[in-house]
Structure 1
Amino acid sequence: MDQLLALDNEANLATRDRFIHDLSAHKQSGLAWVKSHIREINEWVDNDGVALLRGLNIVSTNQFSSILEAIFGEPLSQYVYRSSPRTALRNNVYTTTEYHADQVILQHNENAYSNCWPMRMGFFCVVPAKTGGNTPLADSREVYRKLPHALRDKFENLGVMYVRNYGDIDLPWQEVFQTQSKEEVEAYCWKNDIIFEWKSDNHLQTKQIRPAVATHPQTKEKVWFNQAHLFHCSSIDNQMPESMRESIGLDRLPRNAYFGDGTEISAEDIATINEVYESVTFAYQWQRNDIMLLDNMLYTHGREAYTGTRKVLVGMAKAAY
């Protein structure tokens, strides 16, 4: 099975060579070339959902942010209602998720757990890892089509409830909401249909019910668009000892996911979802100065474990609701 899966992924990768745009022959600065080819670049992303710009001359983080703003046609978005640790740089450019190098980050559409997400994302490889560290991709339309219909229909009918507990183990609410004010947190929750409860003076719990499936606004195709498999308690099995989970209690885990009616999602269902993701996932080997542009609804992204130093930055824009 693993051998067949590997062969299938190799075939998938071969058919996606069109996503790579080798621009190394252009000697002008990356920003200058981009400004003269904005329409062409956006057509690549509109048509394919992915565009890997390779060989551009980029000399700074500021130049990367200017490139993305030129392509997206607007300033980059601030990353609020966070789910992972990052470092903010200038002009709303961020490091990618700062989990330890030995951890794999599963496939996901950015902010699919929220009622507001970026339609466009741009990644910039400053330093490729010594081994691994690539950013795998998966077509959200293929995930939707390949899931067992009974499971897919159940998620589509019920949606997903995301439950988060802040501060004890996971990110503190101050970092997630980018404020020190409880009043501002509560205002954000009211505005964004997030149920909140202060369990103690500094312990916040939130619940938010979101669809599991979305329709892309341009292509009108259905996409699998949720993070149930990332939030589900089974995803932390390798990160938290069973004894610790039992002592904390299910209701106080850093995060968990349920069906939208509050019923439990089985670990077997999550395993099935992860298997489908694995069957359609592919990756390109990062090279220094690569810029990868994504339609965040059409394609998921993740991260391989890696060795050595790795620095990949990200910027987001074009908010959707």
Structure 2
Amino acid sequence: MDQLLSTDMDLSSAETDQRIHDLSGQKQSGLAWVKANVKEINDWVDRDGFALLRGLNIVSTNQFSTILETIFGEQLSQYIYRSSPRTALRNNIYTTTEYHADQVILQHNENAYSNCWPMRMGFFCVVPAKTGGDTPLADSREVYKQLPEALRNRFEERGIMYVRNYGDIDLPWQEVFQTQSRDDVEAYCWKNDIQCEWFNDGRLQTRQFRPAVMTHPQTGEKVWFNQAHLFHCSAVDTEMPDSIGADYLPRNAYYGDGGEIAKQDIDVINQVYRDLTFSYPWQRNDILLLDNMLYTHGRQAYTGTRKVLVGMAKAAR
């Protein structure tokens, strides 16, 4: 899929940004320091919506998972009902989305297309890219506020219908639902208010209806919380609808009543994201903690080798 380039502000200076916490002077191991400072770390995320921990001594993926479980206070979540390719490692740690290095991943709140999403996310930079490869952020509260009122009201009133067709073009259903069983897929869909239909050619189609705007359970603020701009047909190869037919697109987004979303509206949404996006160049061993409802994340295109891992917890509905 073609992705839109984002424009990022560089806020990399730890001397001027209180959301970067330089811990390089700590003599304790990364895990020991985290265990001694759990409340303060969570206070940072509650206060600012995210926190970048820089300079901790972290020696393994297992240590990263233990650090996240210590901070989040629970086991990490499995990633089911996926929308992008990634590799599962131990203890519910995953690689970040494995799209080709020349692609930009648009801003999004994780699993905002689903009725179950993580409230907390943690990213770990094992190897920073040679160039690019940042994980840009944007404040979902500001996205909501800066969208034109008429557009915002239209989405808020009508909601969104996400349509997915699973097969060779996009992820197969076996990977998305992490099962080989059609019965398991149907049970998951029933439990999560997803309409599913099997076709004679073996293709699976799902439809899910979700709000475009949510209220944060702690702050009480409205946030723009959806992936209409990522699922919309304008985000895929422009020649794909003619070659396979609009009904067979791997994914698309409509208003909740089935009405088409105008490309011009998607363009406005993407522009607001671009206007609000900023990034911190990754350094080795950085840990970025996010409130997944308050902040979106994405990925810049990059060169060289890049390895960033992610873990999620505190499921919400």
The TM-score with structure 1 as length reference comes to: 0.94
Tell me what 2:155 maps to. Answer: 155
Residue pair 1:124, 1:289 contacting (<8 A) in 2 also: yes
Q: Decide which of 283, 290, 302 is 1:306's aligned counterpart.
A: 302
For residue 267 of structure 2, the aligned residue among 259, 271, 274 is: 271
Partner residue in 2 for 1:260: 256
User: For the residues of structure 1 that align with 2:15 and 2:228, how far apart are their CA atoms?
Assistant: 29
Q: Matches of 1:222 and 1:127 in 2, distance apart?
A: 35
Q: What is the CA-CA distance between 1:15 and the residue it aligns to?
A: 11
Partner of 1:74: 74
Give the superposition deviation at 1:168: 2.8
The answer (yes or no) to whether the contact 1:225–1:297 under 8 Å persists in 2 is yes
SS in 2 for 1:319: strand
The SS at the match of 1:229 is: helix
Matching residue of 1:290: 286
- Which consecutive residues of structure 1, in runs of 5 or more, have no partner in the other structure? none
Is 2:210 aligned against 1:210? yes
1:113-132 map, 5 Å:
113-132=113-132
Contact 1:12 1:282 in 2 (8 A): no
1:73-104 CA deviation, whole Å, 9 max, x = no partner?
A: 00000000000000000000000000000000
Q: Structure 1 residues 12, 159: closer, same or farther in 2, change over 3 A? A: farther
Query: Which residue does 1:175 correspond to in 2?
Result: 175
| Native 8 Å contact 1:13 1:283 kept in 2 | no
Work out the CA distance in 2 between the residues paired with 1:248 and 1:99. Answer: 22
Aligned residues: 312
Match of 1:197 in 2: 197
After superposition, what is the alpha-carbon deviation per residue over 1:9-45, rounded to whole angstroms, capped at 9, x for unaligned? 4589899711100000002110000000000000000
Whether 2:91 is the aligned partner of 1:91: answer yes
The runs of 5 or more residues in structure 2 that have no matched partner are 1-5
Structure in which a larger fraction of residues adopt helix: 1
Structure 2 contact 14–20 (Cα < 8 Å) conserved: no
* 128 and 316 in structure 1: CA distance in 2 versus 1, 3 angstrom threshold: same
- 3-state SS of paired residue (1:107): strand
Q: 1:58 aligns to what?
A: 58
Q: Give the TM-score, by structure 2 length.
A: 0.96
> Which amino acid in structure 2 is aligned with residue 249 of structure 1?
G
Report which stretch shifted further, 131-140 or 167-176.
167-176
C-alpha separation between the residues in 2 aligned to 1:140 and 1:48?
A: 13
Give 3-state SS (helix, strand or coil) of 1:46's partner: helix
Q: Could you tell me which residue of structure 2 aligns to residue 234 of structure 1?
A: 234
What do the CA deviations read for 1:141-175 (whole angstroms, capped 9, x no partner)? 00000000000000000001000000131100000
Q: Distance in 2 between matches of 1:319 and 1:14?
A: 31
Q: Secondary structure at the match of 1:114?
A: coil
Partners of 2:83 and 2:187 in 1: CA distance: 19
Contact kept, 8 Å, 2:11 with 2:279, in 1: the verdict is no
RMSD (CA atoms): 1.7
| Whole-angstrom distance in 2 between the partners of 1:218 and 1:313 | 27
C-alpha separation in 2, matches of 1:151 and 1:64: 41
Judged with a 3 Å threshold, the aligned counterparts in structure 2 of structure 1 residues 24 and 152 are, in CA distance, closer, same or farther, namely same
- Conserved 8 A contact 1:232-1:258: yes
Task: Indicate if the aligned counterparts of 1:140 and 1:224 stay in contact, CA closer than 8 A.
Answer: yes
The letter for the 1-side match of 2:167 is G
The 3 A distance-change label for structure 1 pair 12 and 150 is: farther
Q: Distance in 2 between matches of 1:224 and 1:15?
A: 31
Residue equivalent to 1:104 = 104
| CA deviation after TM superposition for structure 1 residue 202, in Å | 2.3
On the 8 A contact 1:161/1:258 being kept in 2, the answer is: yes
Please state whether the residue corresponding to 1:152 is helix, strand or coil: helix
| Distance (Å, rounded) in 1 between the aligned partners of 2:10 and 2:118 | 29
Supply the distance in 1 between the matched residues of 2:45 and 2:103 (Cα, whole angstroms): 29
Structure 1 CA distance, aligned partners of 2:178 and 2:196?
16
Q: What is the percentage of aligned positions where both structures have the same residue? A: 77
Give deviations 1:200-233, integer Å, cap 9, x for gaps: 2521000001000000000000000000000000
SS in 2 for 1:301: strand
Q: In the alignment, is the contact (CA less than 8 A) between 2:11 and 2:278 conserved in 1?
A: no
Which amino acid is the alignment partner of residue 64 of structure 1?
Answer: F
Shift, 1:271, TM fit: 0.3
Distance 1:13 1:28, change over 3 A: closer
Change (3 A) 1:15 1:194: farther
